[in-house]
Structure formats: C-alpha cells, structure tokens
Amino acid sequence: MSENEIENLEQMIPLLASGVTTKAYMDSLLAGNIVLEVQKNILYEVYPDGTKKQLKELPKMIEVDINQKVHL
C-alpha cells in the first residue's frame, strides 16, 4: 500500500468513527437502554421513548491547542 493510499484512508477515520458512534447510540436506544448525552453543557439521560431527564450542568469546555498542556 502506498503512502498516499494510507493517508487517504487515515483521513476517513473521523467520518467512520462518527458513524459508528451514532450507530451505537441508536442501537442502545433500540435495545431499550438509557443513554447519556451532553447538549449545551448539560448532561441528560435520554430514554428510548425520546424523553430526556436533565442530570447535571457541566462546566464549559476548555478549548486547547493540540500541543497545549492544561492543568485542572
């Protein structure tokens, strides 16, 4: 496999990861399980019937550069 082919495949990883994450989310709900979801810094339980229960307000996300170290 050429370097160019490898790079092209590597660029597909985020798209594939997003797709399988969405599938796992939907599979879990279809199996009757509750899933956790974050929307606008609020943590929710999401039920198979589509209802949501607010659990907790979360601190705002910290944006960092790829090489930046953050101490919490």
Phi, psi of 36, deg, nearest 5: -100, 145
Question: For residues 25 and 64, which has the higher predicted lDDT (pLDDT)?
Answer: 25
Query: Distance between CA atoms of 18 and 11, rounded to whole angstroms?
Result: 13
Q: Identify the band that residue 66 occupies on the pLDDT scale cut at 50, 70 and 90.
A: confident
pLDDT, average across residues 8-21:
92
Q: Sketch the domain layout of the chain as residue ranges.
A: 3-57
How high is the pLDDT of residue 70?
77
pTM over 0.85: no
Q: What is the pLDDT of residues 21-62, one digit of tens each?
A: 999 999 999 999 999 999 999 999 999 999 999 999 999 888
